[in-house]
Structure 1
Amino acid sequence: MTTPLGVILAGGQGRRMGGAEKGLLMLGGRCLLDRAIDRLGVQVAGLAVNANGPAECYAEFGLPVLRDTVPGHPGPLAGVLAGLDWAAAQGAERIVTVAVDTPFFPADLAARLERTAGRAGTSIAMAATEEEGRLFRQPVFGLWPVALRGDLRSALGQGVRKARFWADSHGTATALFAAEAFFNINTPADLDRAAAMLPEAEG
Protein backbone atom coordinates (compact mmCIF):
# COMPACT_ATOMS: atom_id res chain seq x y z
CA MET A 1 0.00 0.00 0.00
CA THR A 2 1.40 3.35 -1.02
CA THR A 3 1.87 6.24 1.40
CA PRO A 4 -1.03 8.72 1.29
CA LEU A 5 -0.76 12.32 0.19
CA GLY A 6 -1.33 15.12 2.69
CA VAL A 7 -3.62 18.14 2.48
CA ILE A 8 -3.41 21.07 4.88
CA LEU A 9 -6.85 22.62 5.27
CA ALA A 10 -6.55 26.41 5.39
CA GLY A 11 -9.68 27.38 3.53
CA GLY A 12 -11.65 28.87 6.40
CA GLN A 13 -12.62 32.52 6.56
CA GLY A 14 -10.92 33.24 9.91
CA ARG A 15 -13.80 35.40 11.14
CA ARG A 16 -12.71 35.32 14.78
CA MET A 17 -9.26 36.43 13.64
CA GLY A 18 -10.65 39.44 11.80
CA GLY A 19 -10.66 37.65 8.46
CA ALA A 20 -6.91 36.91 8.51
CA GLU A 21 -5.38 34.09 6.50
CA LYS A 22 -4.85 31.80 9.48
CA GLY A 23 -2.07 29.84 7.84
CA LEU A 24 0.04 33.00 7.71
CA LEU A 25 -0.34 33.84 11.41
CA MET A 26 2.97 33.81 13.25
CA LEU A 27 3.64 31.49 16.18
CA GLY A 28 7.07 31.43 17.78
CA GLY A 29 8.69 33.15 14.80
CA ARG A 30 7.17 30.82 12.20
CA CYS A 31 3.82 30.91 10.44
CA LEU A 32 1.24 28.22 11.08
CA LEU A 33 1.40 26.88 7.54
CA ASP A 34 5.16 26.45 7.74
CA ARG A 35 4.73 24.50 10.97
CA ALA A 36 2.06 22.28 9.41
CA ILE A 37 4.25 21.60 6.37
CA ASP A 38 7.12 20.44 8.56
CA ARG A 39 4.90 18.32 10.79
CA LEU A 40 2.85 16.61 8.09
CA GLY A 41 5.38 16.57 5.28
CA VAL A 42 7.45 13.78 6.83
CA GLN A 43 4.35 11.62 7.24
CA VAL A 44 3.05 11.65 3.65
CA ALA A 45 4.20 11.22 0.05
CA GLY A 46 3.40 14.78 -1.03
CA LEU A 47 1.62 17.90 0.16
CA ALA A 48 -0.93 20.48 -0.99
CA VAL A 49 -2.75 23.28 0.81
CA ASN A 50 -6.46 23.98 0.53
CA ALA A 51 -6.86 27.77 0.67
CA ASN A 52 -9.36 30.23 -0.75
CA GLY A 53 -7.43 33.46 -0.26
CA PRO A 54 -5.15 35.07 -2.86
CA ALA A 55 -2.88 32.40 -4.33
CA GLU A 56 0.11 34.73 -4.18
CA CYS A 57 -0.04 34.59 -0.39
CA TYR A 58 1.08 30.97 -0.60
CA ALA A 59 3.53 31.13 -3.52
CA GLU A 60 6.61 31.08 -1.28
CA PHE A 61 5.72 27.66 0.11
CA GLY A 62 6.00 25.91 -3.24
CA LEU A 63 2.89 23.77 -2.75
CA PRO A 64 -0.14 23.25 -4.97
CA VAL A 65 -2.91 25.57 -3.75
CA LEU A 66 -6.31 23.89 -3.97
CA ARG A 67 -9.37 26.13 -3.91
CA ASP A 68 -12.81 24.89 -2.91
CA THR A 69 -14.81 23.83 -5.95
CA VAL A 70 -18.10 24.06 -4.03
CA PRO A 71 -19.32 27.67 -3.66
CA GLY A 72 -20.39 29.39 -0.48
CA HIS A 73 -17.64 28.27 1.91
CA PRO A 74 -19.39 25.04 2.92
CA GLY A 75 -16.68 24.03 5.39
CA PRO A 76 -13.92 21.45 5.73
CA LEU A 77 -15.61 18.83 3.55
CA ALA A 78 -15.13 21.11 0.56
CA GLY A 79 -11.42 21.14 1.34
CA VAL A 80 -11.40 17.37 1.61
CA LEU A 81 -13.05 17.15 -1.81
CA ALA A 82 -10.49 19.53 -3.32
CA GLY A 83 -7.76 17.35 -1.85
CA LEU A 84 -9.30 14.16 -3.21
CA ASP A 85 -9.60 15.64 -6.70
CA TRP A 86 -5.95 16.70 -6.57
CA ALA A 87 -4.88 13.27 -5.30
CA ALA A 88 -6.83 11.53 -8.05
CA ALA A 89 -4.86 13.52 -10.64
CA GLN A 90 -1.67 12.27 -8.98
CA GLY A 91 -2.83 8.64 -9.12
CA ALA A 92 -3.00 8.44 -5.33
CA GLU A 93 -5.48 6.32 -3.37
CA ARG A 94 -5.82 8.24 -0.11
CA ILE A 95 -5.20 11.56 1.56
CA VAL A 96 -4.63 12.60 5.16
CA THR A 97 -5.99 16.01 6.15
CA VAL A 98 -4.99 18.35 8.97
CA ALA A 99 -6.11 21.83 10.03
CA VAL A 100 -3.57 24.60 9.64
CA ASP A 101 -4.71 26.23 12.90
CA THR A 102 -3.84 23.18 15.04
CA PRO A 103 -0.05 23.39 15.34
CA PHE A 104 0.57 20.50 17.72
CA PHE A 105 -1.21 17.70 15.85
CA PRO A 106 0.38 14.24 16.29
CA ALA A 107 3.67 13.50 14.58
CA ASP A 108 2.42 9.95 13.90
CA LEU A 109 -1.06 10.94 12.75
CA ALA A 110 -0.94 9.46 9.23
CA ALA A 111 0.56 6.13 10.28
CA ARG A 112 -1.90 5.62 13.10
CA LEU A 113 -4.90 6.55 10.97
CA GLU A 114 -3.80 4.03 8.35
CA ARG A 115 -3.27 1.28 10.92
CA THR A 116 -6.63 1.99 12.50
CA ALA A 117 -8.48 1.87 9.18
CA GLY A 118 -6.68 -1.33 8.23
CA ARG A 119 -7.55 -3.10 11.47
CA ALA A 120 -11.18 -1.98 11.32
CA GLY A 121 -11.59 -2.77 7.63
CA THR A 122 -12.80 0.75 6.82
CA SER A 123 -11.63 3.22 4.19
CA ILE A 124 -12.08 6.26 6.45
CA ALA A 125 -10.41 6.92 9.80
CA MET A 126 -10.64 9.95 12.08
CA ALA A 127 -8.57 11.12 14.99
CA ALA A 128 -10.38 11.22 18.34
CA THR A 129 -9.74 12.12 21.95
CA GLU A 130 -11.27 10.85 25.15
CA GLU A 131 -12.17 13.26 27.92
CA GLU A 132 -14.06 12.36 31.08
CA GLY A 133 -15.13 9.08 29.53
CA ARG A 134 -16.52 10.68 26.38
CA LEU A 135 -15.19 10.25 22.86
CA PHE A 136 -14.66 13.41 20.83
CA ARG A 137 -13.85 12.93 17.17
CA GLN A 138 -11.63 15.38 15.30
CA PRO A 139 -13.09 15.15 11.78
CA VAL A 140 -10.65 17.59 10.16
CA PHE A 141 -7.89 15.09 10.99
CA GLY A 142 -8.81 12.16 8.82
CA LEU A 143 -7.82 9.54 6.28
CA TRP A 144 -10.00 9.75 3.17
CA PRO A 145 -10.18 7.48 0.09
CA VAL A 146 -10.01 8.96 -3.39
CA ALA A 147 -12.58 6.36 -4.51
CA LEU A 148 -15.30 8.21 -2.57
CA ARG A 149 -14.75 11.65 -4.10
CA GLY A 150 -17.76 11.31 -6.42
CA ASP A 151 -19.98 10.41 -3.50
CA LEU A 152 -18.64 13.34 -1.48
CA ARG A 153 -19.26 15.73 -4.37
CA SER A 154 -22.84 14.52 -4.56
CA ALA A 155 -23.32 14.82 -0.80
CA LEU A 156 -22.04 18.40 -0.80
CA GLY A 157 -24.38 19.21 -3.67
CA GLN A 158 -27.25 17.90 -1.56
CA GLY A 159 -26.31 20.18 1.33
CA VAL A 160 -24.33 17.81 3.55
CA ARG A 161 -21.88 19.83 5.63
CA LYS A 162 -20.96 17.65 8.62
CA ALA A 163 -17.87 15.53 8.02
CA ARG A 164 -18.95 13.06 10.70
CA PHE A 165 -22.32 12.52 9.05
CA TRP A 166 -20.88 11.84 5.62
CA ALA A 167 -18.03 9.70 6.91
CA ASP A 168 -20.29 7.56 9.06
CA SER A 169 -22.43 6.74 6.05
CA HIS A 170 -19.39 4.84 4.74
CA GLY A 171 -18.06 3.44 8.03
CA THR A 172 -15.46 5.26 10.09
CA ALA A 173 -12.75 4.00 12.43
CA THR A 174 -11.33 6.22 15.19
CA ALA A 175 -7.75 6.50 16.40
CA LEU A 176 -7.31 7.84 19.94
CA PHE A 177 -4.78 10.58 20.66
CA ALA A 178 -4.01 12.95 23.53
CA ALA A 179 -6.46 15.85 23.68
CA GLU A 180 -3.78 18.54 23.88
CA ALA A 181 -2.54 17.59 20.40
CA PHE A 182 -5.65 19.19 18.92
CA PHE A 183 -5.52 22.60 20.55
CA ASN A 184 -6.64 24.92 17.79
CA ILE A 185 -6.23 28.64 17.26
CA ASN A 186 -9.46 30.52 16.62
CA THR A 187 -8.89 33.85 18.39
CA PRO A 188 -5.96 36.12 19.29
CA ALA A 189 -6.19 34.77 22.85
CA ASP A 190 -5.76 31.23 21.50
CA LEU A 191 -2.65 32.35 19.64
CA ASP A 192 -1.22 33.65 22.90
CA ARG A 193 -2.03 30.35 24.61
CA ALA A 194 -0.35 28.39 21.83
CA ALA A 195 2.78 30.53 22.21
CA ALA A 196 2.85 29.66 25.91
CA MET A 197 2.53 25.96 25.04
CA LEU A 198 5.41 25.93 22.55
CA PRO A 199 8.32 24.78 24.79
CA GLU A 200 6.31 21.87 26.21
CA ALA A 201 4.60 20.90 22.97
CA GLU A 202 7.81 20.89 20.96
CA GLY A 203 10.00 19.36 23.62
Structure 2
Amino acid sequence: MTTDRPETLCVVLAGGLGRRMGGGDKPMREIGGRMILDHVIDRLEPQCDGLVLNANGDPSRFARFGLPVVADTIEGYPGPLAGILAALDWTAANRPGVEWVVSAAGDCPFLPRDLVARLQQARMTEDADLAVAASGGRPHPVIGLWKVALRDELRHALVEEDMRKIDRWTARYHLATVSWPAEPVDPFFNANTVEDLDEAERLAGLLQG
Protein backbone atom coordinates (compact mmCIF):
# COMPACT_ATOMS: atom_id res chain seq x y z
CA MET A 1 0.00 0.00 0.00
CA THR A 2 1.48 3.36 -1.02
CA THR A 3 0.59 6.19 1.36
CA ASP A 4 2.21 9.18 3.02
CA ARG A 5 1.75 7.63 6.47
CA PRO A 6 3.98 5.09 8.23
CA GLU A 7 3.33 1.42 7.57
CA THR A 8 0.55 0.30 9.88
CA LEU A 9 -0.69 -3.17 10.72
CA CYS A 10 -4.27 -3.65 11.92
CA VAL A 11 -5.48 -6.11 14.53
CA VAL A 12 -9.09 -7.08 15.01
CA LEU A 13 -9.72 -7.95 18.64
CA ALA A 14 -12.01 -10.93 18.21
CA GLY A 15 -11.14 -12.90 21.33
CA GLY A 16 -13.78 -11.66 23.78
CA LEU A 17 -15.89 -14.15 25.69
CA GLY A 18 -19.22 -12.72 24.50
CA ARG A 19 -20.96 -13.27 27.85
CA ARG A 20 -23.66 -10.66 27.19
CA MET A 21 -24.58 -12.45 23.98
CA GLY A 22 -24.83 -15.88 25.55
CA GLY A 23 -21.21 -16.85 24.93
CA GLY A 24 -19.44 -17.61 21.68
CA ASP A 25 -17.77 -15.28 19.20
CA LYS A 26 -19.65 -12.01 18.84
CA PRO A 27 -17.92 -11.18 15.52
CA MET A 28 -19.40 -14.36 14.01
CA ARG A 29 -22.97 -13.16 14.50
CA GLU A 30 -24.67 -11.85 11.37
CA ILE A 31 -25.85 -8.41 10.28
CA GLY A 32 -27.44 -7.97 6.89
CA GLY A 33 -26.78 -11.61 6.04
CA ARG A 34 -23.02 -11.33 6.64
CA MET A 35 -20.86 -11.95 9.68
CA ILE A 36 -19.97 -8.86 11.68
CA LEU A 37 -16.32 -9.82 11.19
CA ASP A 38 -16.79 -9.65 7.41
CA HIS A 39 -17.97 -6.05 7.78
CA VAL A 40 -15.02 -5.21 10.04
CA ILE A 41 -12.46 -6.71 7.67
CA ASP A 42 -14.01 -5.02 4.62
CA ARG A 43 -13.64 -1.64 6.29
CA LEU A 44 -10.18 -2.13 7.80
CA GLU A 45 -8.23 -4.12 5.22
CA PRO A 46 -7.94 -1.37 2.56
CA GLN A 47 -6.51 0.97 5.20
CA CYS A 48 -3.77 -1.35 6.50
CA ASP A 49 -0.43 -2.84 5.52
CA GLY A 50 -1.52 -6.21 6.87
CA LEU A 51 -4.33 -7.49 9.04
CA VAL A 52 -4.35 -10.06 11.86
CA LEU A 53 -7.00 -11.43 14.20
CA ASN A 54 -6.50 -11.67 17.94
CA ALA A 55 -8.51 -14.59 19.29
CA ASN A 56 -8.13 -17.35 21.82
CA GLY A 57 -9.18 -20.97 21.53
CA ASP A 58 -9.21 -23.02 18.33
CA PRO A 59 -7.96 -20.74 15.52
CA SER A 60 -9.49 -22.98 12.84
CA ARG A 61 -12.90 -21.36 13.36
CA PHE A 62 -11.49 -18.29 11.63
CA ALA A 63 -9.89 -20.23 8.76
CA ARG A 64 -12.31 -18.89 6.14
CA PHE A 65 -10.90 -15.38 6.58
CA GLY A 66 -7.38 -16.39 5.55
CA LEU A 67 -5.72 -14.17 8.16
CA PRO A 68 -3.11 -14.89 10.83
CA VAL A 69 -4.76 -15.63 14.19
CA VAL A 70 -2.73 -14.44 17.17
CA ALA A 71 -3.64 -15.68 20.67
CA ASP A 72 -3.07 -13.79 23.90
CA THR A 73 0.31 -14.44 25.46
CA ILE A 74 -0.97 -13.48 28.95
CA GLU A 75 -3.10 -16.15 30.58
CA GLY A 76 -6.53 -15.69 32.15
CA TYR A 77 -8.29 -13.58 29.48
CA PRO A 78 -7.09 -10.28 30.95
CA GLY A 79 -8.94 -8.25 28.33
CA PRO A 80 -8.17 -6.16 25.25
CA LEU A 81 -4.79 -4.93 26.48
CA ALA A 82 -3.55 -8.52 26.22
CA GLY A 83 -4.81 -8.70 22.65
CA ILE A 84 -3.04 -5.48 21.79
CA LEU A 85 0.18 -6.80 23.34
CA ALA A 86 -0.13 -10.04 21.35
CA ALA A 87 -0.47 -8.02 18.15
CA LEU A 88 2.53 -5.83 19.00
CA ASP A 89 4.65 -8.91 19.71
CA TRP A 90 3.49 -10.60 16.49
CA THR A 91 4.32 -7.49 14.49
CA ALA A 92 7.80 -7.22 16.00
CA ALA A 93 8.51 -10.87 15.16
CA ASN A 94 6.89 -11.09 11.72
CA ARG A 95 6.86 -7.53 10.34
CA PRO A 96 9.95 -5.93 11.91
CA GLY A 97 9.76 -2.89 9.64
CA VAL A 98 6.32 -1.93 10.93
CA GLU A 99 6.32 0.41 13.95
CA TRP A 100 2.59 1.00 14.39
CA VAL A 101 -0.50 -1.13 15.01
CA VAL A 102 -4.13 -0.01 14.92
CA SER A 103 -6.55 -2.06 17.01
CA ALA A 104 -10.29 -2.34 16.48
CA ALA A 105 -13.04 -4.31 18.16
CA GLY A 106 -14.34 -7.28 16.22
CA ASP A 107 -17.95 -6.34 16.99
CA CYS A 108 -17.90 -2.86 15.37
CA PRO A 109 -19.41 -3.30 11.88
CA PHE A 110 -19.47 0.40 10.90
CA LEU A 111 -15.82 1.41 11.44
CA PRO A 112 -14.78 4.59 9.57
CA ARG A 113 -12.92 4.08 6.33
CA ASP A 114 -10.43 6.80 7.29
CA LEU A 115 -9.64 5.36 10.73
CA VAL A 116 -5.96 4.60 10.18
CA ALA A 117 -5.21 7.79 8.24
CA ARG A 118 -6.79 10.07 10.83
CA LEU A 119 -5.21 8.33 13.83
CA GLN A 120 -1.78 8.53 12.23
CA GLN A 121 -2.29 12.16 11.17
CA ALA A 122 -3.30 13.21 14.68
CA ARG A 123 -0.42 11.32 16.22
CA MET A 124 2.06 13.05 13.90
CA THR A 125 0.48 16.50 14.18
CA GLU A 126 0.44 16.38 17.98
CA ASP A 127 3.75 14.51 18.26
CA ALA A 128 1.88 12.01 20.42
CA ASP A 129 2.93 8.55 21.56
CA LEU A 130 -0.48 6.97 20.92
CA ALA A 131 -3.87 7.89 19.47
CA VAL A 132 -7.43 6.86 20.29
CA ALA A 133 -10.77 7.19 18.52
CA ALA A 134 -13.82 8.99 19.93
CA SER A 135 -17.39 9.78 18.93
CA GLY A 136 -20.28 11.58 20.56
CA GLY A 137 -17.94 13.04 23.17
CA ARG A 138 -16.86 9.58 24.31
CA PRO A 139 -13.46 7.92 23.77
CA HIS A 140 -13.25 4.33 22.58
CA PRO A 141 -10.02 3.03 24.15
CA VAL A 142 -10.08 -0.31 22.31
CA ILE A 143 -9.87 1.51 18.97
CA GLY A 144 -6.46 3.10 18.86
CA LEU A 145 -2.98 3.44 17.43
CA TRP A 146 -0.17 1.71 19.30
CA LYS A 147 3.61 1.92 19.06
CA VAL A 148 5.27 -1.48 18.71
CA ALA A 149 8.27 -0.23 20.67
CA LEU A 150 6.10 0.16 23.79
CA ARG A 151 5.28 -3.54 23.97
CA ASP A 152 7.68 -4.31 26.84
CA GLU A 153 6.22 -1.45 28.90
CA LEU A 154 2.74 -2.79 28.20
CA ARG A 155 3.82 -6.31 29.17
CA HIS A 156 5.17 -5.00 32.47
CA ALA A 157 1.89 -3.18 33.17
CA LEU A 158 -0.13 -6.32 32.46
CA VAL A 159 2.05 -8.86 34.26
CA GLU A 160 3.65 -6.93 37.09
CA GLU A 161 0.94 -4.35 37.79
CA ASP A 162 -2.11 -6.46 36.87
CA MET A 163 -3.38 -3.55 34.80
CA ARG A 164 -6.57 -4.20 32.84
CA LYS A 165 -8.09 -0.85 31.87
CA ILE A 166 -6.74 0.57 28.64
CA ASP A 167 -7.21 4.20 29.65
CA ARG A 168 -5.14 3.67 32.79
CA TRP A 169 -2.21 2.61 30.62
CA THR A 170 -2.64 5.26 27.93
CA ALA A 171 -2.76 7.96 30.65
CA ARG A 172 1.00 7.43 31.04
CA TYR A 173 1.65 8.72 27.53
CA HIS A 174 0.93 11.69 25.30
CA LEU A 175 -2.36 10.59 23.76
CA ALA A 176 -4.02 12.16 20.72
CA THR A 177 -7.81 11.82 20.54
CA VAL A 178 -9.57 11.82 17.16
CA SER A 179 -13.32 12.39 17.03
CA TRP A 180 -15.85 11.23 14.45
CA PRO A 181 -19.51 12.33 14.26
CA ALA A 182 -21.97 9.93 15.86
CA GLU A 183 -24.80 10.79 13.47
CA PRO A 184 -26.51 9.40 11.48
CA VAL A 185 -24.61 6.25 12.53
CA ASP A 186 -21.97 6.04 15.22
CA PRO A 187 -19.00 4.41 13.44
CA PHE A 188 -17.98 2.79 16.72
CA PHE A 189 -21.34 1.22 17.53
CA ASN A 190 -20.61 -2.25 18.89
CA ALA A 191 -22.92 -5.24 19.05
CA ASN A 192 -22.62 -6.38 22.67
CA THR A 193 -26.06 -7.89 23.20
CA VAL A 194 -28.78 -9.63 21.24
CA GLU A 195 -30.72 -6.35 21.29
CA ASP A 196 -27.73 -4.59 19.76
CA LEU A 197 -27.94 -6.94 16.78
CA ASP A 198 -31.44 -5.65 16.03
CA GLU A 199 -30.21 -2.08 16.28
CA ALA A 200 -27.25 -2.90 14.03
CA GLU A 201 -29.64 -4.20 11.37
CA ARG A 202 -31.52 -0.89 11.53
CA LEU A 203 -28.33 1.15 11.31
CA ALA A 204 -27.07 -0.92 8.40
CA GLY A 205 -30.28 -0.02 6.59
CA LEU A 206 -29.57 3.69 7.15
CA LEU A 207 -26.12 3.35 5.61
CA GLN A 208 -27.52 1.57 2.58
CA GLY A 209 -30.37 4.03 2.14
User: TM-score with structure 1 length normalisation?
Assistant: 0.94
Pair 1:114 & 2:116 matched = no
**2:177 is matched with which residue?**
174
Aligned to 1:193, the other structure's residue is in SS state helix
| 1:42 aligns with one of 42, 46, 57 | 46
Pair 1:192 & 2:198 matched = yes
Change in Cα spacing, 1:202 to 1:8, as seen in structure 2 (3 Å) is farther
- 1:63-74 to 2 correspondences below 5 Å: 63-74=67-78
- 1:59-112 deviation digits (Å, cap 9, x = unpaired): 111101011111111111011001101111211100001101111111100000
Aligned to 1:80, the other structure's residue is in SS state helix
Give the C-alpha shift of residue 2 in structure 1. Answer: 2.8
Specify the code of the residue in structure 2 equivalent to 1:178: P
Superposition RMSD on alpha carbons, in Å?
1.1
Specify the code of the residue in structure 2 equivalent to 1:166: W
Pair 1:128 & 2:128 matched = no
User: TM-score with structure 2 length normalisation?
Assistant: 0.92
Pair 1:139 & 2:161 matched = no
- 1:114-151 deviation digits (Å, cap 9, x = unpaired): 00001111120000123xxxx32101110000000000
| Alpha-carbon distance in 2 for matches of 1:57, 1:201 | 29
Question: Is the Cα contact below 8 Å between 1:28 and 1:198 reproduced in 2?
Answer: yes
- 1:99-110 to 2 correspondences below 5 Å: 99-110=105-116
| Alpha-carbon distance in 2 for matches of 1:39, 1:10 | 15
Deviates more, 1:10-19 or 1:192-201: 192-201
Pair 1:152 & 2:182 matched = no
Give the C-alpha shift of residue 35 in structure 1. Answer: 1.2
Question: Is the Cα contact below 8 Å between 1:99 and 1:140 reproduced in 2?
Answer: yes
Specify the code of the residue in structure 1 equivalent to 2:59: A
Give the C-alpha shift of residue 202 in structure 1. Answer: 4.4
Residues matched between the structures, number: 199
**2:103 is matched with which residue?**
97
Which portions of structure 1, spanning 4 or more consecutive aligned residues, are displaced by more than 3 angstroms? none
Pair 1:79 & 2:83 matched = yes
- 1:43-74 deviation digits (Å, cap 9, x = unpaired): 01000000113211001111010111111111
Pair 1:30 & 2:34 matched = yes
**1:163 is matched with which residue?**
166
Unaligned runs of 5+ in 2: none
Give the C-alpha shift of residue 20 in structure 1. Answer: 1.5
Change in Cα spacing, 1:145 to 1:197, as seen in structure 2 (3 Å) is same
